[in-house]
Amino acid sequence: MMLETSTSFPLNAWYAAGWASEFQRTLLARRICGKDLVFYRTEAGLPVALDDACWHRLLPLSKGRLDGDDVVCGYHGIAFNPQGRCTFMPSQQTINPSACVRTYPVVERHKFVWIWMGDAALAREDMIPDMHWNDDPAWTSATGNTIHAQCDYRLVVDNLMDLTHETFVHGSSLGHKAVAESPFSVTHGPRFVTVTRWMHDIHPPPHWAMQYEYRFGKVDHVDRWQIIRFEAPSTVVIDVGVAKTGTGAEQGNRSIGVNGHVLNTMTPETETTCHYFWAFARNYALEDEQMTERLRQDVIRVFGEDEVILAAQQKAVLNNARTPFYNLNIDAGAMWARRLIDRMVDNERAPRRALAG
Amino acid sequence: MMLETSTSFPLNAWYAAGWASEFQRTLLARRICGKDLVFYRTEAGLPVALDDACWHRLLPLSKGRLDGDDVVCGYHGIAFNPQGRCTFMPSQQTINPSACVRTYPVVERHKFVWIWMGDAALAREDMIPDMHWNDDPAWTSATGNTIHAQCDYRLVVDNLMDLTHETFVHGSSLGHKAVAESPFSVTHGPRFVTVTRWMHDIHPPPHWAMQYEYRFGKVDHVDRWQIIRFEAPSTVVIDVGVAKTGTGAEQGNRSIGVNGHVLNTMTPETETTCHYFWAFARNYALEDEQMTERLRQDVIRVFGEDEVILAAQQKAVLNNARTPFYNLNIDAGAMWARRLIDRMVDNERAPRRALAG
Amino acid sequence: MMLETSTSFPLNAWYAAGWASEFQRTLLARRICGKDLVFYRTEAGLPVALDDACWHRLLPLSKGRLDGDDVVCGYHGIAFNPQGRCTFMPSQQTINPSACVRTYPVVERHKFVWIWMGDAALAREDMIPDMHWNDDPAWTSATGNTIHAQCDYRLVVDNLMDLTHETFVHGSSLGHKAVAESPFSVTHGPRFVTVTRWMHDIHPPPHWAMQYEYRFGKVDHVDRWQIIRFEAPSTVVIDVGVAKTGTGAEQGNRSIGVNGHVLNTMTPETETTCHYFWAFARNYALEDEQMTERLRQDVIRVFGEDEVILAAQQKAVLNNARTPFYNLNIDAGAMWARRLIDRMVDNERAPRRALAG
């Protein structure tokens, strides 16, 4: 099967199509990986994704309406079922058997609906990115607004894989000289890259001082960690937290500390824009909605700072004929992430190798 | 003569440049078939069309002013007469004899000004589309707003050549299951395509129930007709009406019924936009301005529904690399209309054949 | 050295980057000759121009901040000095010696900061356009707003090199039949073109009647002059004024008259937009700020009229496939100016000839 390919994102991958709560008994239009799609749920509640263009004259099906489990085109009433097969044509008894629209595998998991844009035969559910903190009862998640990021999703990956930028971009909340000054280590495999940084015996930045104080009272010296895990092609989960210095957090005892997971997954919309879904999960004070809201607002502000940087960077990339980015030591994690992405993309451009491998 | 050609519209055809009332003793700029034009009337009232770019430095002449029958450029005062010849140059006595701007044949008829964008030698007035209902004393015409349609004019032709879409797009006014369910017949010649549909013994939809009741009182069962006549490349006149069931309308006696003609003519602006001029003419209660206004508002609402569909369809066409539209039985009329358009376009690309033929 | 070239502007030339007053201890982003630049002043007050893209990941440096004389990138804190050399990299001790951003020669003169976009080795300060009236103590200058002109800078040159357009564009302030009717003479050299026009014994137009009356009382008949000097590639200084008829102004005695210099310099932003800087200098009533303001407002209004024309002309140029402009007698000055520009551009496309010549 001939696949359409992009040089910037693989198609044989699960991407978050959106928050599970966005998919209802209405028609939702969204562009993913350059394709216009229409989403809805069947009467039984199962999510459905179809090409958002009627087989007949290409009118977006999202301009139509639902009729039971079928979507009815708003122009001539042609109807398609969740499998994309035509079930009604106006003014004729028989239906052209080739009349259909493409449908895509979708799976609901961890409060997201995930979609597979490539070869459906390759879609295995065990490849869905691990975002279990988002609905694990041991965690409470502050769900973010979706950022409609005006950049290639890979710029967001770069951003998340090197947190030294906190020092310069998020000075008032998360930034700390220690982030840029502390050493880090990188590991990588065929699907994952991990970047681990421990900052020992530092003053906690405001975002963390606030959380620590909430649980244990004021603190002067903490050990802070950032354990970034990239899951190809576009999910980044960051295990973050602080514990009182000397209580053995790095050795595994985080009990005198506060811990969160920043959940990020980016879905290419076009080559230069993406849907950026994030949440912040914590494992304490699970019922405190005020704390949930406070953390949500904190992260919204922080990610708003990134959004500005990322859009400006994308513009500069388009305006500069210059060869690819130069790299610093701090980019080791991002470089490995890019390498995994490139490998996935390359595999799709040489489909036989992909099947063989 | 070498003609610039488009793959979507012929140039050797009369297009409506606008409503006759739009052309006055001022300069009107309008793009037609991809060309920027300036229009005005001479002191004697004759419409004039010139390229909207001064021979000298291309400033749009529409930025200038009228001086008698001449248009004077707003930059350096260079003047051109209705034949496009230069009549004044600043700071010099003699006028470069080659200084001119292109002029186009224009004719006022049926409350429109028509323009011929191609080879002027081929412009015959008997080729002007028949829109006589628009100023025939036996009819009263509710003149619409011009729709600046965000689509290839051929999508409007498609729309008008198959009225089954009324059932799905105009459900509250014109739609009726009968439109999609009734058979129709198609005839075609070198310049015309006709689609005829009779719907017998149906409940009239609101738009028609209102008109019938106005003339004859309430009615339960009517015969409804739609006789669509396409005149290549872009005029569609639709003879529409209802008569009391059993009074012989299909056989020619429309006396116990109400009748209108929907007059539509579309002028390409660019490859993906057009000027869509329409009117609704009726042959009863000619003096009732309240009825005229009511019908105008009805049609404005209906065509506003089409406008949304057409713009969405055009976007989808541009976003989809897919091969041309698939056709259903209902598209027979549109297919023939497209065939006549394609033939005109092809003839212009092989001009010798056009002259020979 | 391989230069990037444009067909419309030379790079080996001084362009006004902006008013000297615009350059402060903050970061100013401006696009010049298609390049995004960042400007600031050092602590010692010297202007600096760098490419507005960090060496690392291309984020515009203008999104960062100043630290002493260095600019610090707003993403990862990488710092560059006024020579464009990197002085800080996060999380590493040694700095990649190739890490730098391009810097450009800049010179402050006549209330402007001038920049040289081409080969820095060729930048000689004696090539900076003569705008001395702007800070000569014998003159007072009404400094204009910068016009962000939506056109190729050469359309502004054309505009200024032929003032017959005053008659048609600026009828209410400067226009006079005499401008279009009076003869003019043109001289030209390798870098300059001069157009001289004397209008003898005319009624002064409002702008000049006001100035003359201010100094000497009402006047009926004046001799008016316009001596336009183009300095390649994009500076036009116009010596303008009126003197009482018969007092020998053309022979050199301007004492019974009023005199100004219109200072214009245009800096290409892109191929189709430019920064247009202008001022109006006079040599009388130097301290009268009310007069300065009145003249400023007069010229703002006049140049606003040009701005509309120029933007419309640029659009028409882009929409017309037509061959270059046709010329009239009045275009002699503009033609010579274009010839000098073309020669500069051609020289850059054949760099050896430029070095040899």
Domain assignment present for C1: no
* pLDDT tens string C28-54: 999 999 999 999 999 999 999 999 999
Q: What is the 3-state secondary structure (H, E, C) of chain B?
A: CCCCCCCCCCCCCEEEEEEHHHCCCCCEEEEECCEEEEEEECCCCCEEEEECCCCCCCCCHHHCEEECCEEECCCCCCEECCCCEEEECCCCCCCCCCCECCECCEEEECCEEEEECCCHHHCCHHHCCCCHHHCCCCCEEEECCCEEECCCHHHHHHHHHCCCHHHHHCCCCCCCHHHHHCCEEEEECCCEEEEEEEEEEECCCHHHHHHHHHHHCCCCCEEEEEEEEEECCCEEEEEEEEEECCCCCCCCCCCCEEEEEEEEEEEEEECCEEEEEEEEEECCCCCCHHHHHHHHHHHHHHHHHHHHHHHHHHHHHHHCCCCCCCCCHHHHHHHHHHHHHHHHHHHHHCHHHHHHC
Report the C-alpha gap between B56 and B89 in whole angstroms. Answer: 10
**The domain that contains C34 carries what CATH number?**
2.102.10.10
Residues of B in contact with A77 (CB under 8 A): 164, 167-168, 180
pLDDT tops 70 at residue B22: yes
| Shared-domain flag, residues C92 and C146 | no
The least confident of A257-271, B255-269, C171-185, C296-310 is C171-185
Domain assignment present for C25: yes
| Shared-domain flag, residues B119 and B198 | no
| Shared-domain flag, residues C57 and C24 | yes
Mean pLDDT of chain B: 92
pLDDT tops 60 at residue C230: yes
Quote the minimal CA–CA distance from A258 to chain C in Å.
26
The amino acid at residue C322 is R
Choosing from C94, C125, C156, the residue where a domain stops is C125
Using CB atoms, which chains have 3+ pairs under 8 A with A? B, C
Which residue has 């890979």 as its token pair?
A154
What is the full per-residue pLDDT of chain A (357 aa) written as tens digits?
333 456 899 999 999 999 999 999 999 999 999 999 999 999 999 999 999 999 999 999 999 999 999 999 999 999 999 999 999 998 888 998 889 999 999 999 999 999 999 999 999 999 999 999 999 999 999 987 799 999 999 999 999 999 888 888 887 777 677 777 888 999 999 999 999 999 999 999 988 999 999 999 999 999 999 999 999 999 999 999 999 999 999 999 999 999 999 999 999 999 999 999 999 999 999 999 999 999 999 899 999 999 999 999 999 999 886 666 888 989 999 999 999 999 999 999 865 544 443
* pLDDT tens string B235-275: 999 999 999 999 999 999 999 999 999 999 999 999 999 99
Quote the minimal CA–CA distance from A62 to chain B in Å.
10
Quote the minimal CA–CA distance from C146 to chain B in Å.
22
| Shared-domain flag, residues B207 and B90 | no
Higher pLDDT, C1 or B221: B221
Which residue of A56, A77, A90 is in closest CB contact with B325? A56
Q: Is C274 in contact with C265 (CB distance < 8 Å)?
A: no
Domain assignment present for A95: yes
| Shared-domain flag, residues B85 and B182 | no
Predicted confidence band at B322 (pLDDT cuts at 50, 70, 90)?
low
Quote the minimal CA–CA distance from B313 to chain A in Å.
5
| Shared-domain flag, residues C268 and C149 | yes
| Shared-domain flag, residues C87 and C194 | no
ipTM for the predicted complex? 0.90
Which residue of C55, C60, C90 is in closest CB contact with A312? C60
Does A216 contact C at CB distance below 8 Å? no
| CB pairs < 8 Å spanning A and C | 76
Q: Is A311 in contact with A150 (CB distance < 8 Å)?
A: yes
Identify the CA nearest to C197 among candidates C188, C187, C185, C209.
C185
Q: Which residues neighbour A252 within 8 Å (Cβ) at sequence distance 6 or greater?
A: none
Identify the DSSP state of C100. B
Which residue of C53, C76, C96 is in closest CB contact with A168? C76
* pLDDT tens string A205-220: 988 999 999 999 999 9
Higher pLDDT, C260 or C167: C260
Report the C-alpha gap between A183 and B31 in whole angstroms. Answer: 64
Choose the mutation target among A199, A326, A327 for the interface with C, i.e. most C CBs under 10 Å. Answer: A326
Which residue of C59, C89, C99 is in closest CB contact with A312? C59
The DSSP code sequence of C158-196 is HHHH-TTHHHHHSTTTT--HHHHHS-EEEEE-SSEEEEE
pLDDT tops 90 at residue C351: no
Which residue of A162, A183, A312 is in closest CB contact with C63? A312
Predicted confidence band at C1 (pLDDT cuts at 50, 70, 90)?
very low
Residues of A in contact with C91 (CB under 8 A): 164, 180-184, 328-330
| Shared-domain flag, residues B116 and B262 | no
pLDDT tops 50 at residue B2: no
Structure tokens at A336: 């490995």
Residues of C in contact with B92 (CB under 8 A): 328-330
Identify the CA nearest to B302 among candidates B185, B159, B94, B91.
B159
- How many domains does chain C contain in total? 2
Residues of A in contact with B181 (CB under 8 A): 91
Is there a contact between B180 and A77 if contact means CB atoms under 8 Å apart? yes
pLDDT value at position B7?
A: 80
Range of the domain at A181: 132-349
Does A348 contact B at CB distance below 8 Å? no
Domain assignment present for A356: no
Share of chain C above pLDDT 90, in %: 81
Q: Which residues neighbour B49 within 8 Å (Cβ) at sequence distance 6 or greater?
A: B17, B37, B38, B39, B103, B104, B106, B115
Quote the minimal CA–CA distance from A215 to chain B in Å.
53
pLDDT tops 80 at residue B216: yes
| Shared-domain flag, residues C220 and C342 | yes
Choosing from B106, B125, B144, the residue where a domain stops is B125
Domain assignment present for A4: no
Does A165 contact C at CB distance below 8 Å? yes
pLDDT value at position B72?
A: 97
Domain assignment present for A273: yes
Domain assignment present for B143: yes
Identify the DSSP state of C121. G
Helix (H, G, I), strand (E, B) or coil at C318: helix
Does B36 contact C at CB distance below 8 Å? yes
Residue A355: count other Cβ atoms within 10 Å of its Cβ: 12
Is there a contact between A77 and B164 if contact means CB atoms under 8 Å apart? yes
**The domain that contains C168 carries what CATH number?**
3.90.380.10
pLDDT tops 50 at residue C198: yes
Does B251 contact A at CB distance below 8 Å? no
Is there a contact between A75 and B158 if contact means CB atoms under 8 Å apart? no
Does B316 contact A at CB distance below 8 Å? yes
| Shared-domain flag, residues A53 and A116 | yes
Report the C-alpha gap between B15 and B268 in whole angstroms. Answer: 8
Quote the minimal CA–CA distance from B142 to chain A in Å.
26
Residues of C in contact with A161 (CB under 8 A): none
Is there a contact between B89 and C167 if contact means CB atoms under 8 Å apart? no
Domain assignment present for B303: yes
Share of chain B above pLDDT 90, in %: 81
| Shared-domain flag, residues A114 and A174 | no
Does C317 contact B at CB distance below 8 Å? yes
Residues of A in contact with B318 (CB under 8 A): none
Residues of B in contact with C332 (CB under 8 A): none
Q: Compute the average pLDDT of residues B269-286.
A: 95
Identify the CA nearest to A260 among candidates A305, A221, A210, A318.
A210
| Shared-domain flag, residues B142 and B111 | no
Choosing from C75, C101, C125, the residue where a domain stops is C125
Mean pLDDT of chain C: 92
Which residue of C76, C89, C96 is in closest CB contact with A165? C76
Which residue of C36, C75, C92 is in closest CB contact with A319? C36
pLDDT value at position A91?
A: 84
